[in-house]
Amino acid sequence: MLIRHATDADIEGLLAVERAAFAGDSEAKLVVDLLGDPSAAPIINLVAENNGEIVGHVMFTRARIDGSGAGVEATVLAPLAVAPAAQGTGVGGALARAGIAAATERGIELVFVLGHIDYYPRFGFAPALKLGLRAPYPIDPAVEAAWMVLETRPGLLGTVRGNVVCADAMMHPEMWRE
């Protein structure tokens, strides 16, 4: 398996993975919207390729913190998709780790995700709300632990608080339901 930066030639393949992984068009539409959204830049856009076929995709897009975290470099991981036939084989983990490494190399200090509470903690993500880092829209209290953050600069968490503001394409209440 090869993890690499996506190219324009990969768009149809990665959108097919998004549609298959999520059994619909919502995430594929989000990817297209983010790729055309200047407020999302810089984007980390990675694919996993196996035998010449795209089997996974992940995006990280720019975010900022309004509050005491102003000036902290942040990003949002969304979406992460793996083709159904490749799920459970480590593709998603490899994409997440590669994306986090790329973000760290670019000086990103905090990575946010709204995702599965049993999946993302394995990469070091922890609930963000209890750390004073609020999602762009309220998260249902029943699943508030799904709003998570990972620090790439040790010691940063606990020193910043505020509201996370994402790329314009993600700033819609319906995107913040887990």
Average pLDDT over residues 38-61: 97
Strand partners, 86: none
What per-residue confidence (pLDDT) applies to 69? 80
Instruction: Quick: pLDDT tens for 116-125.
Output: 999 999 999 9
pLDDT at site 8: 96
Distance CA 46, CA 61 (A): 12
pLDDT digit string, tens, across residues 128-169: 999 999 999 999 999 999 999 999 999 999 999 999 999 999
At 22, the amino acid letter reads: F
Q: Determine the pLDDT at residue 7.
A: 97
Instruction: Indicate the pLDDT class of residue 34, thresholds 50, 70 and 90.
Output: very high
Q: CA–CA separation, 142 vs 155, rounded Å?
A: 28
**Alpha-carbon span 33 to 160, nearest angstrom:** 29
Reduced to 3 states (helix: H, G, I; strand: E, B; else coil), residue 148 is strand
pLDDT digits (tens, 9 = 90+) for 55-101: 999 999 999 999 988 899 999 999 999 999 999 999 999 999 999 99
The count of other CB atoms within 10 Å of the CB of residue 41 is 11
pLDDT band at 174 (very low <50, low <70, confident <90, very high): confident
Would you give the distance in Å from CA 57 to the centre of its chain? Answer: 10
Q: Quote the pTM value.
A: 0.96
Please count the other Cβ atoms lying within 10 Å of the Cβ belonging to residue 123. 16
- Binning pLDDT at 50, 70 and 90, where does residue 178 land? low
